[in-house]
Amino acid sequence: MKANELSNEVNLWAEKKTSGLFKELLPVGAVSNFMKLMFANAIYFKGVWNEMFDTLDTKDYDFHLLNGSKVQAPFMTTKKNS
């Protein structure tokens, strides 16, 4: 199977299984014909919260990347103890 065919197959599977939430799990160029093994992971949580989360409590913080750099990303925050 060619790399781009594999990417398309995985992306279609992920899109179907997540009701369209993940449309491009493997971006163009992520897979090559020389790869022997690849691990891909996606988590799709579809549940009901006991309490609604106040979106005003979402704050941007540093998210550290594997290459040592960092980007700003939204994090759910609360001061409430369970």
21 pLDDT band, cuts 50/70/90, is: confident
Q: Which residues are registered as beta bridge partners of 22?
A: none
pLDDT tens digit sequence for 25-67: 888 888 887 777 766 666 767 788 888 888 898 999 999 988 9
Q: How far apart are CA 22 and CA 10, in angstroms?
A: 10
Q: What angle do CA 37, 38, 40 make, to 5 degrees?
A: 155
Two tokens at 80? 């409430």
pTM: 0.48
